[in-house]
Structure 1
Amino acid sequence: MFNQWLGKQLSNPRGILAKWIGSYMEKGNKKANGWTVELIKPSPGDRILEIGMGTGTTLNRLLNEYEDIEKICGIDISLSMVNKAKQVNRGFIASHKAEITEGNVEHIPFAAEYFTKVYTIHTVYFWSDLVKGLQEIQRVLKPEGEVFITFTLSEELDRMRHTKEFLHYSPKYIQSLLGEEGFRQVKISVQKPFCCISAIKE
């Protein structure tokens, strides 16, 4: 019962324990977050979107470590996480370096060709429509913009009790879908138990 509840909360933290869930995710995702930041390699003038930013600590890290980034935006379906991320990044929000709002990958609340990079970590298991999500990412990316999708490998998810209801995808499957949705140079990077699929918009 607890593992089922935990799995649902990880997809959309809410209620009186949302703060605890946020801290749990922040600690559990630290390794994947750090690895993804290394892969992104932000450039001066980048405008970046994080899908499912949780407590906003990775977004905050990027802004602190790469001062030449133009702006980072974050969206999350959990209002509890949006509020927490706004607190963590209130200084960057005040200086217009960060923008955080409620939203989901199937309906990204930003204009077409707005971002140079989009990344998401441990969210793909919860997307209700994988193809629609990839199409939305393609829409908001500028030409030559990059996407980074980090998630736990399926065989690793199978060993976890709280991930039984997560959607499992093979890296090859997402790689093929990205190719169909207007991306090129689709690359699979692996650092077990995670993989990151990166690609460039045509």
Structure 2
Amino acid sequence: MRTSSCTNGSATELLLLGLLADERMHGYELKRRIDTAFGAITTMSWGSLYPALAKLERRGFIRSETGAGLRDRFDPRQLSGALAAELALLDNIDRPILGHRNRKVYGITEAGEKALVIMLRDVDIDDDRAFWFATAFSTRLTFDERLSLLERRVRRINERIQDLRELVTTSEGLRQVQQGLEHRLDAEQQWIEHELKNLREQQALSR
């Protein structure tokens, strides 16, 4: 069993590279996209986002450019949390009270594209966040690699379901959790089986 989310990077790095591979974005738009598309499984504060972007830039996986900001998209209510996070936000977003400041726009590099594919191939199937991030960007994989991703995940889901069903407990609270997790895993299993069926049908048609 792998011990890290992605052999060559974290689940967060996978998410950021995947989003930037689709479109160049500034920090505000990145956070909005994460909150909207992945809010059910992850959150990202300003204080976490910008250090993660800086790390990817140091590794040569992304590059930033200074571009004109869209001040009308800024909501002052976004300023919350630690002072470091607020300063990072001010550094990257236009605000009328600061005058005509520019903001950074981030884009993926060729090295970043290659790193993204490696992360997708090596994703830790036990890491729930990493799996869903990888699924979101799995169109960058070959057909067989996409099949393998889902097949490995559904096997792991089946193992988790079996482990839960074998769990014996006298705690009412644990039994409720057990039932809730079984329901959640059953739903994911059905969804993956449906996706696998569609992919296999596509594969058959393409031959």
Q: TM-score, normalised by structure 2?
A: 0.30
| Structure with higher strand content | 1
Q: TM-score, normalised by structure 1?
A: 0.31
- Considering Cα pairs closer than 8 Å and 6+ residues apart, tell me whether 1 or 2 has the greater RCO: 2
Compare CA radii of gyration and give the structure with the larger one. Answer: 2
